[in-house]
Amino acid sequence: MGLFARGNIHADGLFDECLAVRAPNFSGKYCNVYFVPTIVDPSEIIKPTATANDDQRANLIGILHFLGERFGYRRVKPKVSRADPTSYIFPSVSLCIPSSCSSSDLGEAVGQLIGRYVFGGNVSIITVTDDSYCFVDNPPPPSFDGPDIAVM
C-alpha cells in the first residue's frame, strides 16, 4: 500500500535495490528516519532573514520555505535524537545512502530540511536516526570445496 493508505505512515524505499548498490569504495546502506513531533519553547524560535538562495530554490526546501512564509515563517534550530522504544510509532521515511555515511550524518541532513520549521504555532519535528535503523549487505563468506581445502 502507498504512504498513508490504510494507516501506513512509513514510506519504505527499495530495500533490495539499495543493498545491491556496489562501487569501489562503498556500497548501499538502507536507513530509516523517524519524525517525532515536539512542542517548541517560544524562546527557541528564530526569525530568519531571507537570502537570495532561499528565493531561487524550486525543490523540497523551496516548498518548505513557501509554506513557512504562508503559515508564519518561524524556524528553530534542528534537533536530532537517538532511537528509543517509541520511535517506531511515528512516521518514517527510508533512504539509501552510501555506506561511508553514518546515521548521524543522515539525521543532520534530514533535520536541516524538515526540522527547522515550526508548524501549527508551536510544533517542530525531531529527526530520529540510529545505527540500529540502518542495514548493509554483508556478502557471504567465500565457499570452499574439497580441492580448495586440500591446497590450504
- Could you report the per-residue pLDDT of 86-132, keeping only the tens digit for each? 877 888 888 999 988 998 899 888 888 777 767 777 787 888 888 88
Q: Can you tell me the distance from the alpha carbon of 8 to that of 5, in angstroms, rounded to the nearest whole number?
A: 5
Outline where the chain has alpha helix (H): 15-19, 52-56, 60-70, 103-114, 146-151
What pTM was computed for the model? 0.67
What would the grid cell of residue 35 be? 519524525
pLDDT at 133: 86
| Nearest CA among 40, 34, 59, 51 for reference residue 130 | 34
Contact between residue 75 and residue 68 where contact means Cβ atoms under 8 Å apart: yes
| Nearest CA among 136, 122, 132, 137 for reference residue 33 | 132
- Percentage, residues of the chain above pLDDT 70: 67
Q: Facing residues of 79 across strands?
A: 126
pLDDT at 9: 62
Instruction: Give how many domains the chain has, as a whole number.
Output: 1
Please state, in angstroms and as integers, the Cα–Cα distance from residue 114 to each residue in 16, 61, 118, following that order.
26, 8, 10
Please name the residues in contact with 39: beta carbons below 8 A apart, sequence gap of 6 or more. Answer: 122, 123
The boundaries of the domain holding residue 140 are 5-151
Contact between residue 96 and residue 125 where contact means Cβ atoms under 8 Å apart: no
Average predicted confidence (pLDDT) for the chain: 75
Q: Which residue has the higher pLDDT, 137 or 118?
A: 137
